């Protein structure tokens, strides 16, 4: 299936980058290793805020190979998951089938999804994706429209600081080579103040920001107050 990306809030070069390495989505030591590493942390955080996911309608925006979508489905959520990289979705679908998980994967942008569904969601997650789109504020506006009243939104992205450039671009891409060169563009990193401004302009309420901090010495991530690199924003709809 081909889609006309003209005028969409989609950067085709970004989609191509993810498509090219789609076969590695489920390799825990492959190019998506950092996402596998942070997944238990962000899952715990989400479960802590939402409680029981059983029967909840959940949308995962920019789902990739489904690392987060699957763990949310396993926790009982009724998951719809969208992405613009067809290769990633193929991998996601096969993997979910192998694990007997019923996830509704769709090749759609969130803007398109909003136009074509009457479904409204209890929970929306959009993790590590906003820094890859031309206009992140549009994603947030669409999530706001797709949420039910009292719905919960979880966004995660990367702060635009000297430390994030050093750690996530120079360190992770060039020195340690944990992730492919060119994965991140520093200028597209998002300051918490910018994110909060978009959230509030969409009529949503930011509740909490929490850092996903990398501990160099013990080589692991943990949640904490320091939001100068990766962070999660927990947001609700009034
Ligand atoms: N959310 C997943 C994957 C993050 S990688 C996780 O955290 O595990 C970023 C993903 O965003 C990629 O799969 C990429 O294809 C997707 N993406 C980038 N731009 C997009 C857009 N405009 N619409 C939907 N998905 C997009």
Rounded to whole angstroms, how far apart are CA atoms 148 and 124?
Answer: 10
The beta-strand segments (E) located in the chain are 57-61, 78-83, 104-107, 121-127, 147-158, 205-215, 220-224, 230-236
Residue 212, token pair as written in the block:
């996903």
Report the pLDDT value the prediction gives residue 7, as an integer from 0 to 100.
Answer: 61
Choosing from 15, 183, 184 the residue with most ligand 1 atoms within 8 A of its CB, the one to mutate for a pocket test is 15
Average pLDDT, the chain: 94
Residue pLDDT, tens place only, 18-62 = 999 999 999 999 999 999 999 999 999 999 999 999 999 999 999
Q: For residue 156, give the ligand 1 atom closest to its CA.
A: 7
CA atoms within 13 A on the CB side of 23: 1
Rounded to whole angstroms, how far apart are CA atoms 154 and 216?
Answer: 26
Say how many Å lie between the CA of residue 4 and the centre of ligand 1.
18
Report the pLDDT value the prediction gives residue 105, as an integer from 0 to 100.
Answer: 98
Residue pLDDT, tens place only, 151-195 = 999 999 999 999 998 888 887 888 888 888 888 999 999 999 999
Report the pLDDT value the prediction gives residue 172, as an integer from 0 to 100.
Answer: 82
Residue nearest to atom 22 of ligand 1 (CA): 10
Residue nearest to atom 21 of ligand 1 (CA): 10
Report the pLDDT value the prediction gives residue 5, as an integer from 0 to 100.
Answer: 46
Domains identified in the chain and CATH numbers: 12-236 (3.40.50.150)
DSSP single-letter state for residue 133: S
């Amino acid at each position: 299936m081909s889609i006309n990306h003209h005028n969409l809030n989609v950067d085709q070069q970004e989609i191509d980058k993810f498509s090219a390495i789609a076969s590695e989505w489920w390799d825990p030591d492959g190019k998506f290793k950092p996402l596998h590493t942070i997944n238990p942390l962000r899952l715990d955080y989400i479960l802590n805020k939402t409680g029981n996911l059983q029967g909840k309608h959940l949308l995962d925006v920019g789902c990739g190979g489904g690392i987060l979508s699957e763990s949310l489905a396993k926790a009982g959520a009724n998951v719809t998951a969208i992405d613009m990289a067809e290769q990633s979705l193929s991998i996601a679908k096969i993997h979910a089938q192998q694990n007997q998980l019923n996830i509704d994967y769709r090749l759609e942008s969130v803007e398109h999804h909003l136009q074509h569904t009457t479904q409204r969601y209890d929970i929306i997650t959009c993790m590590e994706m906003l820094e890859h789109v031309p206009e992140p504020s549009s994603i947030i506006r669409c999530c706001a429209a797709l949420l039910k009243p009292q719905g919960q939104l979880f966004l995660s992205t990367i702060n635009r600081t000297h430390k994030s450039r050093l750690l996530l671009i120079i360190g992770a891409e060039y020195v340690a080579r944990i992730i492919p060169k060119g994965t991140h563009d520093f200028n597209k990193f998002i300051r918490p103040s910018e994110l909060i401004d978009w959230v509030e302009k969409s009529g949503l309420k930011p509740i909490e920001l929490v850092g996903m901090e990398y501990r160099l010495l013990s080589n692991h991530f943990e949640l904490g107050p320091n939001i100068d690199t990766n962070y999660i924003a927990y947001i609700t709809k009034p």
